[in-house]
Structure 1
């Protein structure tokens, strides 16, 4: 499926970005399309089932503040739980931004930091009990930075809902 040419600008908040929020139904967001229709679906491994995922059909920039130039996304995916509500949001940046963790800290506070595979993770837990995780690769410029959102107490979303690029 070809992405629409319209540019969408969303701001970060505690439940996601713009209208794409944890706890919403994907049908409420017209640009979310079933993952099976994504032209690059074979570039990703998804769990537990591809039918539980959607992709955003359009160009997206995310901002922390109104005057922010924005961060271009290469991919935006959501997943749904057994009740049909968005339980994970995955934002793949178009290019690595070394200052992104600091910028997100301005919005979400001080993160916990840990090493993760070939990179580092910064993790924020908001007052609304949302967990935001930023994965930043250490040495491989071909690996995207990924920002993900989930409700902190939703352990199935953490352990079972995974999307990653094929290598």
Structure 2
């Protein structure tokens, strides 16, 4: 097996970068029925694509890395990437993702919250990073209660692109009750 490492940078990871046109990134699949099994795309599925290239690790370029379960890209109306969404393969992670991201982007702002079922325990912590050039924001959503909140994810957006907030993937946590 070939080990393919991608590195976090000031626009995304490796060649998967904010602002790139859709034609510059391969291989991609349009957001499809199997993706919809667990995720609700916002504003719609036409804006989202799943990266199908082989990546066995995401790295800070120093010593820390972790594998990705899946990577999704959202494109704006002019077909430029305006959101990158990464789901880490959490069952095999042996590193602190927040430390890895701090190595690349500096110290984060942190917020915690959520009421996990009954009991009032913290069910997630959000880490917000800004690139050194102040162009992008990286958000890491660390989850302590996957059944109620959904899986951990990392997202990228341009700081000055408020329109990017409408491009989200919502996990279907209620499927366990159906």
Is structure 2 residue 127 aligned with structure 1 residue 122?
yes
Q: Among 94, 98, 101, which residue is 1:101 paired with?
A: 98
Unaligned runs of 5+ in 1: none
User: Which residues in structure 2 correspond to 1:11-160 (within 5 Å)?
Assistant: 11-36=7-32, 39-60=34-55, 61-65=57-61, 67-68=63-64, 70-95=65-90, 97=93, 99-117=96-114, 118-126=123-131, 127-140=133-146, 143-158=150-165, 160=166
Unaligned runs of 5+ in 2: 115-122, 174-178
TM-superposed deviation, 1:9: 2.1
TM-superposed deviation, 1:140: 3.3
Q: Distance in 2 between matches of 1:108 and 1:17?
A: 12
Structure 1 partner of 2:117 = none
Contact 1:14/1:128, CA 8 A, preserved across alignment: no
The structure-2 alpha-carbon separation of the partners of 1:55 and 1:150, relative to structure 1 and needing over 3 Å to count, comes to: same
Over the aligned positions, Cα root-mean-square deviation in angstroms equals: 2.2
